[in-house]
Structure 1
Amino acid sequence: MIYVLAVFLPPLGLLVNGQPFAAIFNLVLLALSVVLTLLTIFTFPIIMLVPSAHAVISVYMTRENRKHREIVDAIERHGPPPGWRR
């Protein structure tokens, strides 16, 4: 669900995911994309995909980082899994 929000409303998707600075950057990127699209008289509408791509990639990376952090915390609390060798 967060990915759908990140595609259609990128700054809001980033805010919901807990990334306020990325949301501000994305809002600036979105405004720049709209201006460039209007200035080129819709010659390059693909520019409008840049903020959505930024939001989706940022949400994915943050979620992967959270998963990784949870695994590391569990290993630190409970020790390595059985059968693990150094």
Structure 2
Amino acid sequence: MIYLLAFFLPPLALIFYGKIFQAIFNAVLWVVGIFFVLLGGWILWAIAVGHAIFVIHGSRADARTQKIVDAIKSGK
């Protein structure tokens, strides 16, 4: 569900994940990208969407890794 939100509203998806500075950067890219989509281009919009998906995926991977590290530490 978060990836769907990242596709349609990338800055909002990043805010939900607590990535405020990335959301601000992404909002600038997204707004400029939307402006250029209206003029016939789509590259910046695609970069904004890709950035949001990449950051969300990385955040989820970090959480999984931290869970594994915590399980290993508690097993000692």
* Common topology (TM > 0.5): yes
Preserved contact between residue 33 and residue 43 of structure 2 (Cα < 8 Å): no
> Structure 2: where are the runs of 5+ without partners?
none
Which residue in 2 is equivalent to 1:71? Answer: 68
Preserved contact between residue 2 and residue 17 of structure 1 (Cα < 8 Å): no
RMSD: 1.7
Distance 2:75 2:58 in 1: 26
Distance 2:37 2:64 in 1: 40
Which residue in 1 is equivalent to 2:23? Answer: 23
Query: Max radius of gyration: which structure?
Result: 1
> Structure 1: where are the runs of 5+ without partners?
80-86
Q: State TM-score, norm by structure 1.
A: 0.77
The one-letter amino acid paired with 2:29 is L
Which residue in 2 is equivalent to 1:3? Answer: 3
Distance 1:20 1:50 in 2: 18
Distance 1:26 1:2 in 2: 16
How far has the Cα of 1:38 moved from its partner? 6.1
Q: Structure 1 residues 38, 72: CA separation in 2 closer, same or farther (over 3 Å shift)?
A: closer
Q: State TM-score, norm by structure 2.
A: 0.86
User: Aligned with 2:18: secondary structure?
Assistant: coil
User: Aligned with 1:18: secondary structure?
Assistant: coil
Share of identical aligned residues, percent?
Answer: 38
Higher share in helix: 2
Preserved contact between residue 10 and residue 48 of structure 2 (Cα < 8 Å): yes
4+ residue runs over 4 A deviation:
none
Which residue in 2 is equivalent to 1:47? Answer: 44
